[in-house]
Structure 1
Amino acid sequence: MDTTYLASHFSRNAVGTRSDRPLTNDEIATVAPSIFALSAHESRSERYTYIPTSDVLDGLRKEGFQPFMACQTRVRTDDKRAHTKHMVRLRHADQITGREANEIILLNSHDGTSSYQMIGGMFRFVCQNGMVCGNTVGDIRVPHKGDVIGEVIEGAFRVLDGFESATRQREGMAGLALTDGEQAAFARAALALRYDDDKPAPITERQLLTPHRMEDRAPDLWTTFNRVLKT
């Protein structure tokens, strides 16, 4: 399991919304109007490159990814509310409530408080402190300077292509059933990689393989892999 960090974190009092269905632009704009800013904040110089989050959002919708969560930071002055740092999380509509799903996280701002970032992967959780845990297929970061729109577009395609490769790998692992002995060998190898040989591991193979949820009991390689990594 990878641990990736957002280019900037969000405080606990960030304003946001989350739904079990795709969010409309009106619903997003109610809590995160900065996503639809039409230009950079007036405090930015001519060297600052405006990267429209709304255009990226529209493009991802065309690729089947729908926003289900959006938020932005609180600001001390109202003049920055329409340009401040914001985040959008997207999944395919039929996977929004799924345990495992391909997901894209967009992070951006129009006032210089954050660079543009797109992360793609299958995430276990996303914390407001900026930590993202899961299987990442792409992490694109673009600063707001120079002719960067091409980088944004190219980065989006790299993330989308990464999903195809990750899906094939995941399906292959899910289709391979392991015996109890093979699962134990997998856990033993994981412990050997994680801990030094001269010190006993603080956890046993059996504990490493113990499922904590009903859906984690399957004996296939993909489930075993995630069960071991989560412990």
Structure 2
Amino acid sequence: MTRNISILSNDDIIEMAPAAGAWEPMEGVSSKYSFVPTVKAIDLLRDVGWQPIFATQSGVRKRARDGYQKHLIRFVQPDLIMRDERIDLLLYNSHDRGCSFKLMAGIWRFICSNGLVIGDEYANFSHKHIGFNPDDFMKSAIQIAGSAGDIASQMDELKQIELIPQAQSAFAKAAHNLVYDEPDEAPIESDDLLKTRRHEDEGRDIWRTFNVIQSNIIDGGLRGSKIGANGRRRRVTTRPVKALDKNLKLNQALWVLTQEMGKLAKEIA
């Protein structure tokens, strides 16, 4: 592996995300629930060339769910590491009936250590625990690897499309509406999402605009203000999106939005 990537063992994964090591479902689930350990899925992915490098799990409010909650493991393949980005596979699962196995394509951007998630249907698969078929599961993982060329082509195309300032603002406003149900009451303005944090992100192409917006939303850290209960405006800093469900949904929605911006830009040109 290049770029100092460390491959994880199953023990490493369980240490990072204990729920991935569950060998039985959460107490109280239906007898009809079909249990498939995450570690079995991880081993199947290893068999088709995907190597785990990172694991995390969601927090829980109820103690009974602790050890069975949603968890995510990121995988890589040496052949899918490029100069500036890497095509990854994400495995998402839980053992509390919260979700089925989900396999998703992701992009890791080395400049900012940004984890992007592909929203296209061809790069997203769901496999229920009931009737789990290992062969179908591995075929999905192989298909994600096979889609790497298409994903790379999309990235290259987005890097070539320049946006005028008004189009960048429209992009940011659409993304802002994805995050805030009441945009007018949000602590930041939509154009705040266009603030760059590093020299490499300066530019007007869609790819960099997308990455700047995504990073500002997911990582938080933008300074703004909000009206408190006393009616006074107070300074606040936006928080990072740590909840796994929200993180994945926002990432996928931003990817789809970026593709639509690319289509519109090409039509206008």
- With normalisation by structure 2, the TM-score equals 0.50
Shift, 1:70, TM fit? 0.9
Specify the SS of the correspondent of 2:97.
coil
Aligned CA distance change for structure 1 residues 65 and 109 (closer, same or farther; 3 Å)? same
Summarize deviations over 1:118-142 as a string: whole Å, max 9, x none.
Answer: 111314544xxxxx55675611123
Aligned to 1:139: 124
Tell me, yes or no, if structure 1 residue 92 matches structure 2 residue 77.
yes
Matches within 5 A, 1:1-231: 20-75=5-60, 80-92=65-77, 99-123=84-108, 125-126=114-115, 132-133=116-117, 138-147=123-132, 149=134, 151-167=136-152, 169=153, 173=156, 186-188=162-164, 191=167, 212-214=198-200, 224-230=205-211
* Partner deviation per Cα, 1:27-74 (whole Å, 9 max, x = no partner): 222232321333333422232222332122123223333222112234
Unaligned runs of 5+ in 2: 172-193, 213-269
| Residue-by-residue CA offset, 1:77-117 (whole Å, 9 max, x unaligned) | 77654433211112236988974101111111112123321
Distance 1:119 1:112, change over 3 A: same
Query: 2:105 is aligned with what amino acid?
Result: G
Relative to structure 1, is the Cα distance of residues 51 and 100 closer, same or farther in structure 2, using a 3 angstrom cutoff?
A: same
Unaligned runs of 5+ in 1: 1-18, 127-131, 196-207, 218-222
CA RMSD of superposed structures (Å): 4.5
Q: Does the 8 Å CA contact 2:20/2:38 hold for their aligned counterparts?
A: yes
**Are the equivalent residues in 2 in contact too, given 1:22–1:93 (CA < 8 A)?**
no
Compare relative contact order (CA 8 Å, sep 6+) and give the higher one, 1 or 2. Answer: 1
Deviation at 1:146, TM superposition (A): 4.4
